[in-house]
Structure 1
Amino acid sequence: MSAPTALPPLPDQAERLIALGLAERADLTAEEVRRAARTDVPGALLVVHPDRLPASALAPYLRHREKPGFVVTDLGDVDEFRPIPEAAVPDSALYLVTDLDRGDHLANWSPDEALPDVVAAGRTPLTLVEGLHWLLQQPEVLERNHCFMTIGSRLCKADGRLDARTPAIWISNGTGRDGATNRHAPKVGWCWAGNRHTWLGFASGARRLDPVGLPR
């Protein structure tokens, strides 16, 4: 793995979602969240379905150097970015993603180049909401010059084609429209699907699981 992978145990992840008020915001009870975390899947990430907790609601809870996360001004439609077929999520209010990897080895690849490689490796690209959950539970994964794209989320236009923007999470320099107050803050932005960036990997997981029916 190319980033720290010692996620907190699932029960601890559940308690963090509850403590932040995100369970309530997702219209979930504390017991529902705790129940989803009572399963024996080592190293898994607990995720609230994007229909319950969209990216715009999660981003402000991120922290880097005590700065809260934000969504760039030209990504006002961030919640319209949905999982692509290669990143289909379970039809469950809460689910798990296993074996997370920041994808540093794919830095300087374009999203168009990286997706086939991720899939060929038997993995699935993380969605934006999954990437945000990861950083909520393990903030140190976001490092300057080692940030990541979440190409499991794309916007489908009215004509059926994919919007050329691909979402990513990195650390703002506080320049331009970001504003100086956002320097060092976690930033939800985007890159063109055909462009390469040396400082962006491609986050992925092994599989997604519905916790219902898993061993406890």
Structure 2
Amino acid sequence: MPETTPVTSAFVPELPALTAQAEKLIELGVHEIAGLPADQLRSFAKAAEAPADASGTLLAVHPEAAPASALAPLLRREGKPGFVVADMPDVDEFTPLGSVTLPEGPLYLVTGIDRGDHMANWSPDEALPALTKESRTPLVLTEGIHWVLQQPEALERNHCFMTIGSRLRKANGTLDSRTPAIWISNGTGRDGRERRNAPKVGWCWAGNRHTWLGFASATDRLAG
């Protein structure tokens, strides 16, 4: 396992207030994707924002209501929309690991998010048990997308991240070797030159290491 220094990730601005996050999702039309009234997002965020410890908390829509394939195109960087790589047509079939439990209901909260820069150059197979030992839970793919929707600065060159809380289970019950990640396209290959610098939802092998990918995680998920 690679050596690591137990430090927090590079500086990322604090998340907006939950009520502001709700307005952002409404502006992007996420409530329509999820089939929810806009006022439901507003009332959920307002109620959840009341506790003093609500700062730094992410408002998330359950992937069953707003899947990754619908959220990825809403990402923006340098005016370019996000996209899912061509060889991941099954992106919405990546569901939470057995060790990852999402709250019931269409809306929930994610607390204590960290990009996991200190685990750069680890493989997903190495990172997952380390996160578990630290009592942290890996983000699922849609949570990672929600984070970048609210806080675009969370995605930067050489400091992107994996969302290994989502995996695809094959028909025989074993896990597919792909692990989802969010990074920035170089505009090469099947991405196309026009997508250079666009936010990209892709995947990496579970046993491979990448110096520019951390492992996004959180402290908890709450029903609100």
SS at match of 1:37: helix
- Is 1:16 the equivalent of 2:24? yes
* CA distance, structure 2, for counterparts of residue 86 and residue 174 of structure 1: 35
Shift of 1:5: 4.6
AA at the equivalent of 2:63: P
After TM superposition, the structure 1 stretch with the greater mean CA deviation from structure 2, 31-40 or 149-158, is 31-40
The match for 2:201 among 178, 182, 188 is 188
Unaligned runs of 5+ in 1: 212-216
Report the secondary structure of 1:53's partner residue. coil
> How does the TM-score come out when normalised to structure 2?
0.93
CA apart distance, 1:97: 0.2
Counterpart of 2:134? 121
Matches within 5 A, 1:144-155: 144-155=157-168
Instruction: Give yes or no for the alignment of 1:26 onto 2:34.
Output: yes
CA distance in 1, matches of 2:43, 2:136: 27
Q: Does the 8 Å contact 2:15/2:55 carry over to 1?
A: no
Task: State whether structure 2 residue 73 is matched by structure 1 residue 64.
Answer: no
Moved over 3 A (4+): none
Q: Distance in 1 between matches of 2:183 and 2:95?
A: 20
Does residue 81 (structure 1) correspond to residue 81 (structure 2)? The answer is no
Residue 182 of structure 2: aligned partner? 169
User: How big is the shift at 1:87?
Assistant: 2.0
- Does 2:99 match 1:91? no
| SS of the residue 2:21 aligns to | helix
What's the offset of the Cα at 1:64? 1.1
Q: CA RMSD for the aligned pairs?
A: 0.8
* C-alpha distance in structure 2 between counterparts of 1:144 and 1:65, whole Å: 13
Aligned length: 211
Tell me the TM-score normalised to structure 1 length.
0.96
Aligned-pair identity (%): 65
Tell me, in whole angstroms, the C-alpha distance in 2 between the residues paired with 1:79 and 1:121.
Answer: 28
Rounded to whole Å, the distance in 2 between the matches of 1:85 and 1:118 is 15
